[in-house]
């Protein structure tokens, strides 16, 4: 559309507006953007993959350089037998499709909770709950196998899950991995409940903690947000937690509410508890540095021997 300007003042004003908008876009783009992808999966692996692909395409279109999928992003089986039968290795079809997607979309992926066949699969028929990070070239750059397994019986709350009946606990934590949004410490779901786990990752350099999850509705309503905010506050980290939502089969439903929490403990993004979707958050690493400088918890913490002084000995009065 053509239009006339009556004076140099109007020209100057228009240029000022354009310059301000351009500066805003440039300054905003300096902060990397992460996407939390909330899923409602079933035992239909192909349908789950198609749903995830749609969310990842949306995340990329909206400017994310890294996207996070929840625990059990590949499927949730309705029985131990079905869960084991659907499992794969990291060299299988499912992971191949995700490496292709990462490369095609030019995006990093955090795949939180892949049903990976164990190292002695033929003899034991057990799996790992494996968190996989893929770079934008389609390369697997880190894997963490969940080490705290959810074996919980809460009959009064209607919660009964025994992950250890088909899952092998991971042998160790893994070092935080450098990503486009910052240094990422990998966990999975139930790991969230163990503060020493998060602290170990933070001490190893993590700027962001991630807990892809499939929390039950009961435990999610009671503990999900407060745990995520606590881990962010006490470690002065971002916490990113993609989650499953809704009914998966007749006996299992998930709470949803994929959350991003900033280092001050503020909820920066929430996918809600009703349906699948994408929520974006800008990661401000300068906020982490500023907070850790102004409130240096890491300097105020006593050494490990101090906190262990009550173990196996008399309490000093």
Query: How does pLDDT run across 276-315, given as a tens digit for each residue?
Result: 999 999 999 999 999 999 999 999 999 989 998 988 655 5
Give the mean model confidence (pLDDT) for residues 168-195. Answer: 97
71 is catalytic: yes
Task: Give the active site residue among 33, 37, 65, 146.
Answer: 146
For residue 313, the model assigns a pLDDT of 59
The active-site residue out of 33, 65, 71, 237 is 71
pLDDT at 197 over 80: yes
Question: What fold, for 32-306?
Answer: Nitrilase/N-carbamoyl-D-aminoacid amidohydrolase (3.60.110)
Q: Which of 65, 130, 189, 237 is flagged as catalytic?
A: 189
pTM over 0.85: yes
pLDDT by residue (tens digit) across 81-96?
999 999 999 999 999 9
Give CA separation, 78 vs 44, 66, 248, 251, 317, in Å. 11, 31, 8, 8, 54
Domain ranges of the chain: 32-306
pLDDT tens figures, 226-282: 999 999 999 999 999 999 999 999 989 999 999 999 999 999 999 999 999 999 999
% of the chain with per-residue pLDDT over 90: 79
16 has pLDDT over 50: no
Amino acid 9: pLDDT: 38
Active site residue 21: no
Does the annotation mark 189 as catalytic? Answer: yes
């Amino acid at each position: 559309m053509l239009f006339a300007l009556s004076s140099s003042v109007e020209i100057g004003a228009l240029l000022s507006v354009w310059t301000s908008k351009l500066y805003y876009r440039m300054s905003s783009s300096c902060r990397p953007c992460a996407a939390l992808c909330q899923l409602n999966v079933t035992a239909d692996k192909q349908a789950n993959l198609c749903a995830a692909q749609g969310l990842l395409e949306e995340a990329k279109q909206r400017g994310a350089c890294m996207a996070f999928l929840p625990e059990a992003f590949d499927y949730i089986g309705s029985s131990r037998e079905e869960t084991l039968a659907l499992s794969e290795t990291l060299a299988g079809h499912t992971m191949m499709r995700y490496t292709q997607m990462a490369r095609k979309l030019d995006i990093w992926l955090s795949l939180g909770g892949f049903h990976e066949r164990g190292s002695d699969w033929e003899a034991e028929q057990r799996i790992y709950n494996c968190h996989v990070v893929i770079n934008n070239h389609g390369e697997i750059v880190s894997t963490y196998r969940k080490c705290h397994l959810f074996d919980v019986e809460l009959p009064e709350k209607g919660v009964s899950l025994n992950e250890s009946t088909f899952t092998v606990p991971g042998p160790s934590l893994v070092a935080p991995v450098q990503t486009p949004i910052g240094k990422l410490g990998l966990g999975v779901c139930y790991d969230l409940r163990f503060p020493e786990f998060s602290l170990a990752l933070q001490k190893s350099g993590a700027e962001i903690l991630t807990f892809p999850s499939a929390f039950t509705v009961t435990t999610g309503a009671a503990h999900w947000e407060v745990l995520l905010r606590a881990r962010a506050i006490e470690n002065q980290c971002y916490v990113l937690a993609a989650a499953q939502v809704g009914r998966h089969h007749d006996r299992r439903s998930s709470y949803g509410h994929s959350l991003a929490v900033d280092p001050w403990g503020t909820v920066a993004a929430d996918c809600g508890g009703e349906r699948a979707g994408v929520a974006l958050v800008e990661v401000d690493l300068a906020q982490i540095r500023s907070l850790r400088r102004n409130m240096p918890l890491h300097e105020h913490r006593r050494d490990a021997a101090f906190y262990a002084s009550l173990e196996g000995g008399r309490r000093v009065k």
